Amino acid sequence: MDNFRFYSPTEFIFGRDTQKETGKMTANYGGVKVLVVYGGQSAEKSGLVKQVTDSLDNNKISYCILKGVQPNPTDDRVYEGIGMALKEGVNFILAVGGGSVIDTAKAIALGAVYDGDFWDFFCGKGTPSAALPVGVVLTIPAAGSEASASSVITKINGLHKRSCRTNLIRPRFAIMNPELTMTLPWFQTACGITDMLCHIYERYFSNTPAQLVNAYSEAIMRDIMDQALTLKLDGNNYDARADIMWASTIAHNGLCGVGKREDWATHFLEHEVSALYNVVHGAGLACIAPAWLKFVAKRNPDMVWRFAVNVMSVDPSGLDTEHIIEEGINLLKDFYHDLGLTTSLTELVGKEPDIDALVESLHKNLGDMIGSYVPLSIDDCREIYQLAL
């Protein structure tokens, strides 16, 4: 096990009706004037926005609203939010939504207390030294942003999808009511599940010995897959919704990566796809992850074998390594298909994607090599995109 730091200071308020505690929690963490950030009309129609703002009113907290954040959130909304925060004298950012909304809120929190352009922190030009506090009412279990130190934003000019990572933007609190996720379209539930699984893959596939962390990571991955299939049959199963929601958080708060060198190549490969074709991140991962596994297993089979046996439950008796791995990857693809997702990039994008453009952007954003379980050259990445077609 390598040396590590683990810091997950977010206070989680989990369970039925917990959105009614939003005002109290915001006040606990010093919120006086709040910018409420959310996405589309679903949060209004469901009554959630009203419940949240009522709760702020009850705690005598004033607020202004930024709505209309889209999936694969873009810099324009961040600039708009920073402008509102400055104009209104906001001292707290409250995200009501999933990863896109939270990432937008985090970027606003950084930009609102910075003299320069917030994008400096996403393109490596600057290191943040302060941020407004952020709170979350989570509606989509997927990105894990409610517990993470990261924000991912796409710059519209050039379609650069880049991330910023700093403890300053870890949410102070996250309110998580699994009932709120019951009205999600199935496609969003499914894409969230692929995303949280991939947050564990990126840490699991590592060359660092990590018996304990691997064991609990496998247990979490198996449970996500099991409860995903339960939800496919019964989307209102509270305990399955609750497991999926809590799993999304611990998949990405660092717990599954302690003491390990992480990889993240699958995410990097996918970010180019969703930036260029505006597909849903989780849907892109369902195409990239099996292709990445197939590619890396040739050079470094050990953890892929272990994944096949311990997570996908391939019975290894009588099979050689190659067939165990092949069977494990096929079962993973079957799982994605059971969720109703494609594992073909061509099908996802609606045409054969422009691999040259994907590879060129990847190279521009991340240099010559990506990943660590198997370090990938740009030509390797090209081959993975081809395997994913």
Chain residues in the site for its own copies (CB under 8 A): 1-9, 11-16, 18, 178, 209, 211-213, 215-216, 218-220, 222-223, 226-227, 238-239, 242-243, 246-247, 250, 255, 258-259
Name 215's Cβ contacts closer than 8 Å, sequence gap at least 6: none
Q: Is the C-alpha dihedral spanning 256, 340, 177, 172 positive or negative?
A: positive
- In this complex, which beta carbon is closest to its own copies, that of residue 242 or of residue 388? 242
- In this complex, which beta carbon is closest to its own copies, that of residue 311 or of residue 381? 311
The CB-of-295 to its own copies minimum distance in angstroms stands at 28
Nearest to 150 by CA among 29, 8, 284, 2: 8
The CB-of-317 to its own copies minimum distance in angstroms stands at 16
Q: Give the largest CA-CA distance in the chain.
A: 68
- In this complex, which beta carbon is closest to its own copies, that of residue 36 or of residue 250? 250
- In this complex, which beta carbon is closest to its own copies, that of residue 156 or of residue 229? 229
How many CA within 13 A on the CB side of residue 343?
20
| Residue 220 in tokens | 């979490």
- In this complex, which beta carbon is closest to its own copies, that of residue 74 or of residue 253? 253
Taking the C-alpha atoms of residue 75 and residue 94, their distance in angstroms, rounded to an integer, is 18
Q: What is the dihedral of CA 319, 323, 326, 331, to 10 degrees?
A: -20
The CB-of-179 to its own copies minimum distance in angstroms stands at 11
The CB-of-274 to its own copies minimum distance in angstroms stands at 28
Nearest to 178 by CA among 340, 19, 9: 19
Taking the C-alpha atoms of residue 93 and residue 99, their distance in angstroms, rounded to an integer, is 14
DSSP-assigned letter for residue 18: G
CB atoms within 10 A of CB 212: 10
CA-based R_g, the chain, Å: 20
The CB-of-228 to its own copies minimum distance in angstroms stands at 12
The CB-of-375 to its own copies minimum distance in angstroms stands at 24
3 state SS of 316: coil
- In this complex, which beta carbon is closest to its own copies, that of residue 5 or of residue 60? 5
C-alpha separations of 295 from 94, 286, 326, 373, 387 in Å: 41, 15, 11, 11, 8
- In this complex, which beta carbon is closest to its own copies, that of residue 6 or of residue 186? 6
The CB-of-4 to its own copies minimum distance in angstroms stands at 5
- In this complex, which beta carbon is closest to its own copies, that of residue 259 or of residue 316? 259
- In this complex, which beta carbon is closest to its own copies, that of residue 2 or of residue 356? 2
The CB-of-12 to its own copies minimum distance in angstroms stands at 4
DSSP states of 26-44 as a string?
Answer: HHHTT-SEEEEEE-STHHH
DSSP-assigned letter for residue 367: -
Name 30's Cβ contacts closer than 8 Å, sequence gap at least 6: 91, 92, 133
The CB-of-343 to its own copies minimum distance in angstroms stands at 25
